Amino acid sequence: MTYFYFILKSALEDFRRNKVRTLLTSLGILIGVSSVVLLMAFGLGLKKYITDQFESLGANLLIIFPGKLIQNGQFRQGPGGLGGKRFDEKDVLKLTKIKTALYIVPAFTKTVEVSGGSHTETADIYATTNDIFAIRNLELDLGSYFTATDNDKRSKYAVLGPKIAEKLFGTKETALGRSVKIENQGFKVVGILKSKGGGGFGGPDLDSFAYIPYKTSYSFNPDKKFIAINIKVDRQDNIQSTKEQVKKIMLDRYSEDDFSVIEATEILNAVSSIFAIMNAVLVAIAAISLIVGGIGIMNIMYVSVVERTKEIGIRRAVGATRSDILYQFLIESVILSLVGGFLGLLISYLVVLLVQKFFPAYMNLESILIALGVSSLIGIVFGVFPARKASLLSPIDAIRYE
């Protein structure tokens, strides 16, 4: 106990005497730690954002895409992405035979100009069945969904996301019951959805979607082809077997390369792995500043050892061993580094709080522990050379030093 008290007091007294020097040395670590922690926080936030987005797609979902989108858990390189054949109603009919598939929901999407009120906006139309609302947890805010009958009757009904509704008509309330023009046809706004959030970072802006019955869309989709087929599986356990059945059925009409059956989580993993790599590269670059900070500590510790040669001699004369001296200087450099680490964490925390309004950054326990662990490690690694030098001084040379 007293041992640490004495070493701590000696270290703190030294820092107090050299306030500016101590601060500048810690600053190096501070900058390093805060850049690493902040980049980790942004990476974490981005990952959480993406995960949330995919979760909002709904659970137990399989999606059939044309072409080969994902291979070995990565997005496919080069050509062959979203090309290939498109699907039709015959596929949907065949897929309904699968017992574990609760809903088969085809979709045709197109980015179009939508006008209504006195505005015209770009929006994604999502031509599909009424089941889309169930499988994607799209809750209604105002009005009603369109129905299966509406689809069969090719009713010109549209259910709007809240954002596009507000853009066109000012408020959601005024949008309900009004008419919007999509591809030169009038659609009645029968329902407005609750917000799902999202948009930005290239992700889909779900709140700006306009959902219409797919059969109605045939007027501007003359091939009657779908871009995707969503399949809701009854239970998590049945996802793999359902996937196999879907593939088998699809292979009757298409070749292996013309379609992919993907779980929502697979896309999530592929997207996440891209961001994880990007983030790791950035964090690695930031880590260089930590090394620079460490060299700053090493530099100051060397100076400190020279300045305190006499002190080392006195301690050796009263019985300090080489290891005692080594530990004393190691502890000091770790303290220096940890002070920088703590301040860096504090600043990162403040920055994260500040940007949270615009960016979903957040810090987890892991990044805090990593920051503190890494700063202690830097203190040890860069402190060990000066500390070793101090410990190897001969007692007599040290005590005679003026």
CA angle 51, 53, 57 (to 5 degrees): 110
Per-residue binder mask for other proteins (CB under 8 A), 317-356, x = binder: xxxxxxxx--------------------------------
Stretch that binds other proteins, among 32-40, 41-49, 280-288, 306-314 (CB under 8 A): 306-314
CA angle 330, 333, 335 (to 5 degrees): 105
Q: How far is CA 20 from CA 14, 74, 124, 374, 383, in A?
A: 11, 50, 58, 24, 19
Number of residues that bind other proteins (CB under 8 A): 26
Q: Which amino acid makes up residue 51?
A: T
- Pick between residue 204 and residue 395 the one whose CB is nearest to other proteins: 395
Stretch that binds other proteins, among 7-15, 133-141, 156-164, 299-307 (CB under 8 A): 7-15
Q: Is 307 in the site for other proteins (CB under 8 A)?
A: no
Report the nearest approach of other proteins to the CB of residue 367 (Å). 37
Show the DSSP H helices in 124-235 as ranges: 131-135, 148-152, 162-169, 172-175, 214-217
- Which residues make Cβ contacts (< 8 Å) with residue 369, sequence separation at least 6? none
Stretch that binds other proteins, among 2-10, 86-94, 233-241, 274-282 (CB under 8 A): 2-10
- Pick between residue 6 and residue 201 the one whose CB is nearest to other proteins: 6
Q: How far is CA 264 from CA 98, 232, 256, in A?
A: 19, 11, 20
Instruction: Work out whether strand 157-160 and strand 140-143 pair parallel, antiparallel, or are unpaired.
Output: unpaired
Report the nearest approach of other proteins to the CB of residue 2 (Å). 5
Q: Is 67 in the site for other proteins (CB under 8 A)?
A: no
Q: Percentages helix, strand, coil for the chain, rounded to the nearest 5?
A: 60, 20, 25
Report the nearest approach of other proteins to the CB of residue 383 (Å). 20
Candidates 8, 303, 381, 399; binder of other proteins (CB under 8 A) is: 399
Q: Is 19 in the site for other proteins (CB under 8 A)?
A: no
Report the nearest approach of other proteins to the CB of residue 10 (Å). 6
Note the residues at the interface with other proteins (CB under 8 A).
Answer: 2-3, 6, 9-10, 13-14, 17, 310-311, 313-324, 394-396, 399
